[in-house]
Amino acid sequence: MEPQQRSPLLEVKGNLELKRPLVKAPSRLPLPGSRFKRGLDQMEDVLEPEKKRTRGLGTATKFTSSHPRAPAITTVPQAQGQTTAPKVPKKTGPRCSTAVVTVLKNQKPGPAVPAQKPGTAAPPKLGGKKPSKRPAWDLKGQLCDLNAELKCCRERTQTLDQENQQLRVQLREAQQQATALGAERRTLEGELTRVRAQAEQGQQELGNLSARVLELEERLGTQEGLVQELQKEQLELQEERRELATRLEEQERRLQASEAALSGSQAEVASLRQEAAAQAALLAERGERLHGLEMERRRLHNQLQELKGNIRVFCRVRPVLPGEPTPPPGFLLFPSGPGGPSDPPTHLSLFRSDERRGTLSGVPAPPTRHDFSFDRVFPPGSGQDEVFEEIAMLVQSALDGYPVCIFAYGQTGSGKTFTMEGGPGGDPQVEGLIPRALRHLFSVAQELSGQGWTYSFVASYVEIYNETVRDLLAPGTRKGQGGECEIRRAGPGSEELTVTNARYIPVSCEKEVEALLHLARQNRAVARTAQNERSSRSHSVFQLQISGEHAGRGLQCGAPLNLVDLAGSERLDPGLALGPGERERLRETQAINSSLSTLGLVIMALSNKESHVPYRNSKLTYLLQNSLGGSAKMLMFVNISPLEENVSESLNSLRFASKVNQCVIGTAQANRK
Ligand code: ADP
Ligand code: MG
């Protein structure tokens, strides 16, 4: 047995079973002659039959002859009944020798065995019939018997000696075995202790293992759940995989189709490239033609403007404002043109009831009708967009190199500023001509950039009050009290005029223009508080210098666009008492009237192609001289109040405008180089 190789549990069990037999082992020595086997199991086997045999023999036959501490000869009890008749052992071995020993021990000198007759006496047969008793006289026979018996005894003694020797040898062997067994026992005890310790440790480990088993079982449960989940997931994934495989197949089919289409497309691309090259050549050709057409457009546009007249007059009647008295019905009429109501109106009729003209019968005279016709008439409901639409082409001609001048003429409060700059509040609906014109120019310049044109714009804004020029774009501290400005030629021999001390600001977007208009409004507001409604007593001139260049063709063009909000055209009441304030007012009015009449005279002189044009008679005409005259295009808005109380001033304005309208100024020419 090799305990080390067994599991601790098994080892413990085995040792526990072995415990009892090992303790009793000294009293259960193996049978003489039987080989002692070291294996515990085998020892058990050896011991078991001995036990049985012992039980079967009872105490009397307890075999102790080989026990070292209890020699059989002295300690074996003998049943009283077993006496003289020695039994002849049937077998050899311990049983036989025991019988012999018993016989020897119980042999008494007592009754002699009858002697056999000499010669006849047969040697006693062991185990045979007893020899018949010799008569007392047969001493010889008896002697013979005794000799035979002696001989037999001697033989027996000899046998016993041999046996004794054998037994001694066995005893020694047994002792050696005992010693060996003792040593073995100690070894086993040690082993037992170790095994017990191991058992305890095993027990402990078992406990730990049980706990671990429980834990593992628990984990197993969790893992099983997990496995189930994973299996489920796997199924789903398999399903998904199948789906994806289907889709992949589909995609592959599509890819193949796409590849086929691609190769087709590539061929197509190649042919398209060829086509594109052809198109590019065509495009270049078209570009050339487009340029020719653009030039043609400009020429035709100019011709159209000429046909319309290089000086045009539009009449605009503002609506009645909240709080103003409603004019009598029919005070102002806007008869439709020859094309009917669909035609834009060009006529205006004003009815004036003259109180001074009474009839003899005392019945008031019927109102006098005054008819006017202009290039266009805008009734009160006309919006700013509608008005701008009419002048958009004129403004655009500034890009083509024609100087443009747009005036707003009329009495104070007739809507000049509204027309030019726009209404209050920054509402885009009521934006005036200046912001709209600039936006239009910026967008057209952008379009023309596609044809190779580059434009730049520089803005200035001045007012002319009492024949003095002031910068409306003066920033910061100069606000409202900008230094005196002078109108000078840009250089010796130059036709171009500039205003000294005035700012010329490059603009390229609406926002910048808005900022300028805002600044001008602020400057005017400051001036207004300082000098009683000065804004209506002064001319505001917004100038935009436009420069265009076509680098590819080496073309240049440049022209000014002037948008002029004229001072109120009203005359001073002749019956007004002349106090110191009024005198100042009179001087102002005279200056205004003078400059306005100079404007009229300049237009007339130009129209009549007079050799002398009185530009120098007013700062306004002097400043605008390059934008008036032969090569320039001019538009005058005559703004009219709808109120009956303003009828006189309205008539004056309409008459002035009619005169201007009758003027035809030479053929416009673009300033091209
Ligand atoms: P002016 O500059 O000729 O003195 P304004 O332009 O200041 O006159 O106009 C006077 C008033 O009439 C302003 O309140 C202005 O908003 C208003 N107004 C002028 N024209 C119109 C119009 N077409 N539509 C609405 N309101 C107008
Ligand atoms: Mg005004």
How far does CA 11 lie from the centroid of its chain? 69
Q: Is the pLDDT of residue 179 over 50?
A: yes
User: How many angstroms separate the CA atoms of 190 and 198, rounded?
Assistant: 12
Q: Is the CB of 410 under 6 A from ligand 1?
A: yes
Q: Would the CA dihedral through 465, 467, 472, 475 be positive or negative? A: negative
In this prediction, residue 359 carries a pLDDT of 56
pLDDT of residue 376: 93
Asked if the model's pLDDT at residue 577 lies above 70, the reply is no
Helix axes 40-57, 8-24, angle to 10 degrees: 40
Q: What is the pLDDT of residue 534?
A: 65
CA proximity to 668, closest of 620, 635, 638: 635
Is a pLDDT exceeding 50 seen at residue 427? yes
Ligand 1 atom at minimum distance from 414 CA:
3
pLDDT(486) > 70: yes
Q: In angstroms, rounded to a whole number, what is the distance separating the alpha carbons of residues 317 and 335?
A: 14
Across 170-174, 314-318, 605-609, 662-666, the highest mean pLDDT is recorded for 314-318
User: How many Å apart are CA 641 and CA 410, to the nearest integer?
Assistant: 9
pLDDT confidence tier of residue 404, bands split at 50, 70 and 90: very high
Give distance in angstroms: CA of 461 to centre of ligand 2: 15
- Name the residue type at position 45: D
Look at ligand 1, atom 23, and give the residue with the nearest C-alpha.
318
For residues 513 and 302, which has the higher predicted lDDT (pLDDT)? 513
Per-chain mean pLDDT for the chain: 78
Range of lowest pLDDT (194-208, 350-364, 607-621):
350-364
Q: Which of 318, 534, 649 to mutate to test the pocket of ligand 1 (most atoms within 8 A of CB)?
A: 318
* Residue 663, phi then psi, degrees to nearest 5: -80, 140
Q: Which tokens is 131 given?
A: 């020899």
Phi, psi of 373 (to 5 degrees): -135, 140
Is position 256 annotated in a ligand binding site?
A: no
With a 6 Å cutoff on the Cβ, whether 562 touches ligand 1 is: no
Identify the residue with better confidence: 242 or 177.
Answer: 242
Q: What is the mean pLDDT of residues 559-570?
A: 93
Sign of CA dihedral 661, 667, 671, 672: positive
Backbone angles phi, psi at 551, to 5 degrees: -60, -40
105 is in an annotated binding site: no
Poorest-pLDDT segment among 317-331, 405-419, 469-483, 589-603: 469-483
Judged against a pLDDT cut of 90, whether residue 584 lies above it is answered with no
**Beta strand 505-507 pairing with 453-465:** antiparallel
- E strand or H helix that includes residue 267: helix 139-308
Q: How far is the CA of 416 from the centre of ligand 2 (A)?
A: 5
CA 640 to centroid of ligand 1, rounded, Å: 10
Answer yes or no: is pLDDT of 9 > 60.
Answer: no
What is the C-alpha to C-alpha distance for residues 198 and 14, in angstroms, rounded to an integer?
Answer: 13
How far apart are alpha carbons 670 and 399 in whole angstroms?
10
Place of tokens 């007059």: 313
Backbone phi and psi for residue 639, each to the nearest 5 degrees, phi listed first: -95, 135
For the segment 651-663, what is each residue's pLDDT rounded down to a tens digit? 999 999 998 888 8
- What pLDDT, on the 0 to 100 scale, is given for residue 333? 93
Atom of ligand 1 nearest to the CA of 423: 16
Mean pLDDT across 489-497: 84
- In the predicted model, is pLDDT for residue 631 greater than 50? yes
Ligand 1 within 6 A of 637 CB?
Answer: no
Give the chain's end-to-end CA distance (angstroms, integer). Answer: 128
Distance from Cα 102 to the centre of ligand 2, integer Å: 171
User: Which run of H or of E encompasses 544?
Assistant: strand 538-550
The answer to whether the beta carbons of residues 347 and 337 sit under 8 Å apart is yes
Cα→Cα distances 583→123, 412, 580, Å = 204, 19, 5
Confirm if 314 and 636 have CB atoms less than 8 A apart.
Answer: yes
pLDDT score recorded for residue 135? 82
Q: Decide: helix, strand or coil at residue 637.
A: strand
Q: C-alpha 422: how far from its chain's center?
A: 47
pLDDT at site 7: 43
Q: Which helix (H) or strand (E) holds 163?
A: helix 139-308
How much is the average pLDDT of 295-306?
74
User: What mean pLDDT is predicted for residues 376-390?
Assistant: 94
Q: 0.75 exceeded by the pTM?
A: no
91-101 per-position pLDDT tens digit: 444 443 444 44
| Ligand 1 binding pocket includes 642 (Cβ within 6 Å) | no
The amino acid that residue 222 corresponds to is T
Query: Could you give the count of Cα atoms lying within 13 Å of 299 in the half-sphere of its Cβ?
Result: 6
Q: Which position has the token pair 């011709």?
A: 303
Q: Which of 71, 175, 88, 172 is nearest to 125 (CA)?
A: 88
Query: Which residue has better confidence, 576 or 64?
Result: 576
Q: What is the pLDDT of residue 535?
A: 66
Does the Cβ of 416 fall within 6 Å of ligand 1? yes
Residue extents of the structural domains in the chain = 311-662
pLDDT at position 109 is 44
In angstroms, the CA 413 to CA 394 distance is: 26
Cα 471 from chain centroid? Answer: 55
pLDDT of residue 56: 39
pLDDT at 58: 38
Average pLDDT, stretch 278-292? 85
Domain 311-662: CATH class, spelled out: alpha beta
- The closest of 611, 606, 648 to 629, measured between CA atoms, is 606
Is the distance from the beta carbon of residue 318 to the nearest atom of ligand 1 less than 6 Å? yes
CA 108 to CA 153: how far, in whole Å?
14
Q: Per-residue pLDDT for 370 more than 80?
A: yes
pLDDT of residue 670: 54
Reported confidence tier of residue 285, pLDDT bands at 50, 70, 90: confident
Is 103's pLDDT higher than 80? Answer: no
How do residues 147-175 score in pLDDT, each as one tens digit? 888 888 888 888 888 888 888 888 888 88
Q: Grade residue 82 by pLDDT with cuts at 50, 70 and 90.
A: very low
Find the radius of gyration of the CA atoms of the chain: 76
Q: Which amino acid does the sequence have at 454?
A: T
Residue 446 has pLDDT above 50, yes or no: yes
b or e along 414-440 (b: 16 or more beta carbons within 10 Å of the residue's beta carbon)? bbbbbbbbbeeeeeeeebbbbbbbbeb
CB 342 within 8 A of CB 624: no
Closest-CA residue, ligand 1 atom 22, reads 318
pLDDT of 477 above 70: no
**Does ligand 1 come within 6 angstroms of the Cβ of 569?**
no
Q: Among 25-39, 193-207, 404-418, which range has the highest average pLDDT?
A: 404-418
Q: Has residue 403 got a pLDDT over 60? A: yes
What's the confidence (pLDDT) of residue 155? Answer: 86
Mean pLDDT lowest for which of 347-356, 413-422, 493-502, 559-568? Answer: 347-356
| Residue that wins the pLDDT comparison between 670 and 251 | 251
416 annotated as a binding-site residue: yes
Ligand 2 centre and the CA of 409: distance in Å? 10
Assess whether the C-beta atom of 639 lies below 6 angstroms from ligand 1: yes
